[in-house]
Structure 1
Amino acid sequence: MPDHSKPSHGTAHRKTVPHRRLLLKGLAALPLALPFRSASAGTAKYQLKFRHTHTDELLDVVFRDNRGYIAPAIQRMNWLLRDHRSGEMIHMDPQLFDILHALRARCGGETFEIISGYRSPLTNASLRSHRRGVAKNSLHMDGRAIDVRLVGFDTARLSQAAVDLGIGGVGYYPRADFLHVDTGDFRTWGAARS
């Protein structure tokens, strides 16, 4: 299996929040609705829908328009993709969201199920101690990787669509039925694709 670990340069900024404040902050952020931009006004909308498999949180958000990324939307996505074990949040690489949007545009489907977003170094070490395939220097720890499924779409076909994009790392895990994508160098691993 190719190494899908992070490069050794640079560290990401992590933010730890006490659990009660963390819960209140998350609950306050979820009901916010971002306005849709009219296609007739010449502004494209980049929308994603998520369900986190561990917290059962839902998010439907327009994260980008013709002017760029929408900061409140990115913040809400960062919150959703926090390490659900420790409560730590990181600034996720927004290119991940572009990759997911491109996959959704190619494949259809509605909602991405999140299996794993950000992982703190402690969480990553814990997972690595009792699971195969968890990289020591995982890009999850830098906010540059996400593990997902697309509801109603075959994960093997989603994997092939991700490979066809030719962007970042693409790992297919058929037994657990999820796709890993990251913003590292282009590389693939996992079961053979059709």
Structure 2
Amino acid sequence: SKPASTYSGGMKRRLDIAMTLVGNPRIIFLDEPTTGLDPRSRHTMWGIIRELVSDGVTVFLTTQYLEEADELADRIAVLNDGKIAAEGTAEELKRLIPGGHIRLRFTDPAAYQQAATVLHDAARDDEALALQMPSDGSQRELRSILDWLDSAGIEADELTVHTPDLDDVFFALTSDNKVPTQPKENVR
């Protein structure tokens, strides 16, 4: 057997978790368990954490990787200067901030001009031949924009939907011009 000091970072983390599980605890605190791990080890660790949760263990996890929080957490608290800036599910937190949009890009300048006329509320990027409209990314909103284009006989070459992610939420909550901190009900 090798001394634990010779193990890789990922192996040491698994050993730490194995030792933590002695005695079958119902609550575990994990402080940045994937910091410094390569992507494969990180995903292995995520699998271990998901398994613990599915076995009924409550896991308190601190992480600087917001993708990790999005991937694993039922509830998230965003800390700023040691205080909770906002708390809720990933979806509730994402709804706190504006910034979702649909972007249409065209290769034909005539189609671009025509689309800009039809979608007159869109922000124009004449250089990229692209239009951008604020959107919550819902299927209904997307369908409505595509119907407008269809009825005008215009086809976009590329359509992308951007919805705010937890990075956007973190930047909004920790900047000087803060957004409201209570999640709003999503009224449709």
Scaled to the shorter chain, the TM-score interval is under 0.3
Structure 1 or 2: larger helix share?
2
Q: TM-score, normalised to structure 1's length?
A: 0.24
Larger Rg: 2
